[in-house]
Amino acid sequence: MKSGERMRRLRDDTTAQGVSVDDVRGLVVARNLAFGQDTQQAVARHAWNHMFGAGPLQGLLEDPLVTDILVNGHQVWVDRGQGLVDAGLSLESPRAARELAVQLATRAGARLDDAHPVVDAQLPDGSRLHAVIEPISPTPATISLRAFRARHLSLRDLVQWDMIPAQWVSVFTALVEHRVNLLISGGTGTGKTTLLSTLLGHVPHTERIITIEDSREIATTHPHVVALQSRAANAEGAGAVDLTELVRNALRMRPDRVMLGECRGAEIRDLLMAFNTGHSGGAATLHANSAHDVPARLIALGALAGMDPQTTVLQVASALDVIVHITRPPHGRRYISDISALTCSDSGHLVVQPLLTWDGVSVPRRHDVSVVPAWLA
């Protein structure tokens, strides 16, 4: 029997809800679509990948070291924490890449065609999908996948990965214990959400955590987490729920801590108000080139929310305590380079004061500060 006919018969017998590779293998055996255990398993895996997974990219998506999968035309690249490298496989043709992009978009419940050539959605396994097709893209399709990892990491795991020095484990534990309001900054793919997810595991289990994200990426084993996710408008332009609305609603849900997956717009106003009205111990992530660039980014975001610079400075200085910055040099590993205090100067400017710094290799440096925070003492 031809491969296409096998796929058709399997598709007729299955649904996308809760179907495992073993379920598909049972159908392969029942329908006599293949003989021999190895062949049956291979056919089942191939069928599952193409019907319910990411097709030829599924193996990369299941690699625990892979964070990003990028398809340019029909070439495939991956990031395993050391920068982009050739994945060692390619799709059959650029046209096959477009077909895969459309298939993934459909699986994510989104539309991708000539009328809607860009999609930003989430796959059933939690992985984030972004795809662009012609005519927006010069090739038939460009696909970007950000893998979702449900595994909870500990601070010791981050030490083993050389993301933080061992001397800082107690520092991060104290940051959570003393309910310090954190801003985790860094570039794209540096591990901001990974660090945030790790810190959630150290929050006492008697506390209620509300997480707010555009695309769900925060993963934790904490027993009392309510995960809120924004929603784009439907084809009629209705039904949108943005981060600003979610932050406001989170405050009505009796949170002990509020965690914002990524702060990049007008939601900054409501987040700062939350941190200034008794909701301590919260955190948010922010894109920034360095810790010293954070004040300018915050003022720019405040402008999007209709706040003037002076108001933003006062709100930030009162709401946020510490900046944790993550660095990833070109073709290098990710590591936390700075832990800094965020204060307001007498002249009314935000000041970033380094407390702890690390170059990723040598012994971390502790800076002399006039007033040592309780969690650093």
Percentage of the chain surpassing pLDDT 70?
A: 85
Find the mean pLDDT for residues 65-85: 85
pLDDT band at 15 (very low <50, low <70, confident <90, very high): very low
Each residue of 238-296: pLDDT tens digit? 788 888 899 899 989 999 999 998 888 889 999 998 898 888 999 999 999 999 999 99
Residue 44 has pLDDT above 60, yes or no: no
Cis peptide before 135 (omega within 30 of 0): yes
8-43: b (≥16 Cβ within 10 Å) or e: ebbeeebeeeebebeebbebbeeeebbeeeeebbeb
- In the chain, CATH 3.40.50.300 sits at 155-366
Q: Which of 190-199, 303-312, 324-333 has the lowest mean pLDDT?
A: 324-333
How many other C-beta atoms lie within 10 A of the C-beta of residue 5? 10
At residue 29, the pLDDT reads 47
Q: What is the pLDDT of residue 163?
A: 92
pLDDT at 152 over 90: no
- pLDDT tens column, 210-236: 999 887 888 888 889 999 988 877 767
Q: Hey, which bits of 294-368 come out as E strands? A: 322-327, 335-344, 350-357, 365-366
CATH code linked to domain 155-366: 3.40.50.300
Query: pLDDT class for 198, splitting at 50, 70, 90?
Result: very high
CATH classification (class only), 56-146: alpha beta
Residue 185 has pLDDT above 90, yes or no: yes
* Residue 267 to residue 305: CA distance in whole angstroms: 7
pLDDT at 22: 52
Classify 130 as helix, strand or coil.
strand
Of these ranges, 30-39, 156-165, 212-221, the one predicted with the greatest mean pLDDT is 156-165
| Percent above pLDDT 90 for the chain | 38
Mean pLDDT of the chain: 83
Of the given ranges (6-10, 177-181, 334-338), which has the lowest mean pLDDT? 6-10
Task: Tell me the helices (H) and strands (E) count for the chain, helix number first.
Answer: 12, 15
Backbone Cα Rg of the chain: 23
Distance of CA 197 to the CA centre of its chain: 10
Cα 241 from Cα 212, distance rounded (Å): 12
E-strand ranges in the chain read 68-72, 75-79, 84-90, 118-122, 128-133, 141-146, 182-186, 209-213, 225-229, 257-260, 283-287, 322-327, 335-344, 350-357, 365-366
Judge whether residue 171 has pLDDT over 90. yes
The tens digit of pLDDT for each residue in 271-284 reads 998 898 888 999 99
Among 355, 348, 351, 356, smallest CA distance to 370 is for 355
Q: What is the pLDDT of residue 46?
A: 53
Question: Would you state the pLDDT for residue 10?
Answer: 45
As given in the structure block, the two tokens for residue 86 are 């050739």
Statement: residue 23 has pLDDT above 90: no
- Mean pLDDT across the stretch 32-47? 54
Neighbours of 277 (CB within 10 A): 10
